Amino acid sequence: LKILLLNGPNLNMLGKREPQIYGSQTLAQIVSQLTEQAASVNVELCHLQSNAEHELIDAIHQAMGEQDYILINPGAFTHTSIALRDALLSVAIPFIEVHLSNVHAREAFRAHSYLSDIAKGVICGFGAMGYQFALQAAVSQLSTKST
């Protein structure tokens, strides 16, 4: 099984960026933990972080027929990007939306997502643990599908 992890704009700044909101772990640390967690259940994890909307869209297109599931923290594109929504709809790969922070406990503009209604599920407010929960949920969904 193959799972694609996508992280959007400013997530390369994790560790330095508003640590009271996003925690002290770097993205590299989060990704290496997640890669281990994935390997332990025979899942190959691919990862891309980009600050550019078109690179995330291209990665979603390339995932078609290649990846079984997508875990995505779209960063601020969550609240702005119809294009990311359309890309995810166009490849029809199931996905989970992840946010480190509880987007519902912050500025009002973070409460709306262009992706949540088409996601399998949304995890927010648990910091880096949210990625682990998302991976676990994706693996569990994929294994019930194939049995």
**Residues of each annotated binding site for substrate:** 73, 79, 86, 100-101, 110
| Active-site residue, 69 included | no
Q: Is 99 a catalytic residue?
A: yes
Count of residues near ligand DQA by CB under 6 A: 10
Regarding 73 and contact with ligand DQA (CB under 6 A), the answer is yes
Q: Which of residues 108-137 bind ligand DQA (CB under 6 A)?
A: 110
Three-state SS letters, 68-113: CEEEEECHHHHHCCHHHHHHHHHHCCCEEEEECCCHHHCCHHHCCC
78 scored as a contact of ligand DQA (CB under 6 A):
yes
What tokens appear for 49 in the block?
Answer: 């972080």
* Cα–Cα dist 97/81, whole Å: 14
Q: Does 2 bind ligand DQA (CB under 6 A)?
A: no
- Write out the H or E segment, with its range, that includes residue 135: helix 129-146
Residues that bind ligand DQA (CB under 6 A): 10, 73, 75-76, 78, 99-101, 103, 110
